[in-house]
Chain A
Amino acid sequence: MTLDFAAVLSRWPMFLDGAIVTVKLATGATVIGFAIGTLFAIAKRSNVVWAQRVASAYVEAIRNTPLLVQIFLVYFGLSSIGLKLPAITVATAALIINVGAYATEIMRAGFDSIHKGQVEAAECLALSRRQVYWHVVLLPAMERVYPALTSQFVLLMLATSVCSQISAEELTAVANFVQSDTYRPFETYVLVGVLYVLLSLAMRAAFWGLGMWLFPRRRRLGTAL
């Protein structure tokens, strides 16, 4: 059998639609998941015992079970109690819950790396509590763990392929459809693989740019992120 990419490439509008859904899923889950992760990281480091316990239980439960099972649990579980939601909504929700747990651990490490003396020094300089938190704790903590966050969110983008199993029409689901339609499975999945590689490279570039904008100190020092 010879390779024939033309038949597969002629379906490019479908692949484009799929890629857009993948990017949307990844972006939504990244932004909201990061916010949730930061909140849980703060909870984990707080003095409130029950908040610590809830955050730890959440992190351990999510990080020690597969995303596939989490998605099934949410999707089929919700529909069995009569809550019929579109697959794409459920997929986004499951991805947010999933990446939130990983972001919690990463941000906790970031917060832990902020020296107490830094905060004390900032207080001595008469910065307000909010200023201290933003400029001395949150942003520097993010800066320290920024590479880890980037890797995690790229992994999340790749993990959106699991959503094809609950018929969310993202890139992998499109590939499954195209290959059953064209009988060109090898070409289809090679093409989709290439698209994912391009997406992850684009995502790394975007995160690098975002980092340059977020952390001006890095920009001035010229240190690589």
Chain B
Amino acid sequence: MTTGLNANHLLFLLHGAAWTIGLSLIAFIGGGLLGMVVALCRVSPLKSVRLATGTYVQLVQGTPLMVILFMTFFGLPALGLKISPLTAASASLLVYVSAYLGEIWRGCILSVPRAQWEAAECLALTRAQRMRKVVLPQAIRIATPPTVGFMVQIVKNTSLASVVGFVELARAGQIINNSLFEPFLVYLIIAAVYFALCYPLSRWSRRLERRSARAQEARSLSTPPGQLSLT
């Protein structure tokens, strides 16, 4: 408690925060692409494909991200694959995000009303066309609020990259704390920065949720009762 927090410390934290954002973006974009594949495989007409991706999702969702991280960072080099902290963190987050987003998006695809699928089929659209032109555009609308909500989880979970020595926000905090010995102050600042990153996303997600709930209400009010069973 002899030396105080100075501008250099804050600059270091800012650097860490930049990497937290960077890692979140890598995880979201990479995990999102892989998650799209997972979601499509989960609704595939082939039972074996559904089963295989289902097992993948169950395995990833049943394992802590921490263990996945250790497995890639310590386990892969033992098998002869050299890997840097950034690569290990990105790969683990990618796997983690793909399983969760894939499962969220599967739910969204399946919640597009059945009649839409059938109508598209009657119009002689192929399966790919049906997916691309009818189902997915509607599924994306349904998927937006939970996806934004999950982005909060991604930002928070990048903090686990600190355990393999990758210097993002949480690790930067640990390093500064090791020299200052003021854990309350340092970790409060770290928590505040995470809050500043996550809170806007939370707010945005909640606003989107409210908006889609309102839209749903309006739709169900404007539809005559007789037609409800069709949609």
Contacts and interface: CB of A to CB of B under 8 A. Distances in A.
Interface of A: 1, 60-61, 63-70, 72-73, 76-77, 79-81, 158-162, 164-165, 172, 175-176, 179, 183-190, 192-193, 196-197, 200-201
Among B67, B71, B74, B174: residue with most chain A CB under 10 A: B67
B195 A61 contact: yes
Contact of A65 (B66, B181, B184, B191): B191
Interface residues of B, number: 43
A15 to B, nearest CB: 13
Contacts of A60: 199, 202
Contacts of B40: none
Given A1-B79, A60-B199, A80 B62 contact: no
B194 interface: yes
Interface stretch (B42-50, B118-126, B136-144, B157-165): B157-165
B228 to A, nearest CB: 20
B74 A185 contact: yes
Instruction: List 4 A-B pairs, minimum CB-CB distance, nearest first.
Output: A76-B183, A186-B75, A197-B62, A185-B74
B130 interface: no
B191 A193 contact: no
Contact of A190 (B75, B77, B182): B75
A183 B187 CA distance: 33
Given A80-B182, A158-B64, A196-B67, 4 more contacts: A66-B170, A160-B64, A176-B70, A186-B74
B187 A77 contact: yes
Give the secondary structure class of A's interface: helix
Contacts of A158: 62-65
Contacts of B182: 80
Interface of B: 58-59, 61-68, 70-71, 74-80, 152, 156-157, 159-160, 162-163, 170, 173-174, 177, 181-184, 187-188, 190-191, 194-195, 198-199, 202
Contacts of B76: 186
A64 B199 contact: yes
Among B163, B183, B194, B199: residue with most chain A CB under 10 A: B183
20 contacts: A60-B199, A65-B195, A66-B157, A68-B160, A68-B162, A69-B170, A76-B177, A76-B183, A76-B187, A159-B64, A161-B67, A186-B71, A186-B79, A187-B75, A189-B67, A189-B74, A190-B71, A193-B63, A196-B67, A201-B62
Given A65-B156, A197-B58, A73 B187 contact: yes
B66 A172 contact: yes
Contacts of A196: 62-64, 67
Nearest to B198: A64
B191 A172 contact: no
Contact of A66 (B62, B79, B194): B194
Contacts of A65: 156, 191, 194-195, 198
B70 A185 contact: yes
